[in-house]
């Protein structure tokens, strides 16, 4: 990454970049691309799958829709969007918070990645 920063800072100079500058920028770009590809492979190895591969046949998934946690979701064929379960909370005047589950919807493009829910033992 340091090479990428140096190459970009050189590229931002008002002078025309030299062939060496261009080569360094290309090498830094290739290194950054390799890091991103490695991150994607590692992500998939951890169980996350690409959004375009998510089932749209009523099969439930755990989806990353940008919330701080994964959401239980199923594709709603009628409305062509994801139906997700979300946790809601409300502070109560007399003490602890009140929590409940609520259904919401997310657009198709909101799904960043997904995985199959874990199987319950003996289920």
Model confidence at 119, pLDDT cuts 50, 70, 90, reads: confident
- Yes or no: say if 65 and 73 are a contact pair by the CB < 8 Å rule: yes
- Between residues 116 and 7, the one the model is more confident about: 116
User: Model-level pTM?
Assistant: 0.59
Distance CA 82, CA 65 (A): 10
pLDDT digits (tens, 9 = 90+) for 1-56: 455 455 555 545 556 778 887 787 777 767 776 665 655 555 555 789 999 999 99
Beta strands in 1-123 (DSSP E): 61-64, 71-76, 81-92, 95-106, 113-115
Mean pLDDT (whole number) for 63-84: 95
Residue 4 is predicted with a pLDDT of 47
What is the chain's alpha carbon radius of gyration, rounded to the nearest angstrom?
Answer: 22
List CB contacts of 103: < 8 A, sequence separation 6 or more: 83, 84, 85, 86
Rounded to a whole number of angstroms, the distance between the first and last alpha carbons of the chain is 47
């Amino acid at each position: 990454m340091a090479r990428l920063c140096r190459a970009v800072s050189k590229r931002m100079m008002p002078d025309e970049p030299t062939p060496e500058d261009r080569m360094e920028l290309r090498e830094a770009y290739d290194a950054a691309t390799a890091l991103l590809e490695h991150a994607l492979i590692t992500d998939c190895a951890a169980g996350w799958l690409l959004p375009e591969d998510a089932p749209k046949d009523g099969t439930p998934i755990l989806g990353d829709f940008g919330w701080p946690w994964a959401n239980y979701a199923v594709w709603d064929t009628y409305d062509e969007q994801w139906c997700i379960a979300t946790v809601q909370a409300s502070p109560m005047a007399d003490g602890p918070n009140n929590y409940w589950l609520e259904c919401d919807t997310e657009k198709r493009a909101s799904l960043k990645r997904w995985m199959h829910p874990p199987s319950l033992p003996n289920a």
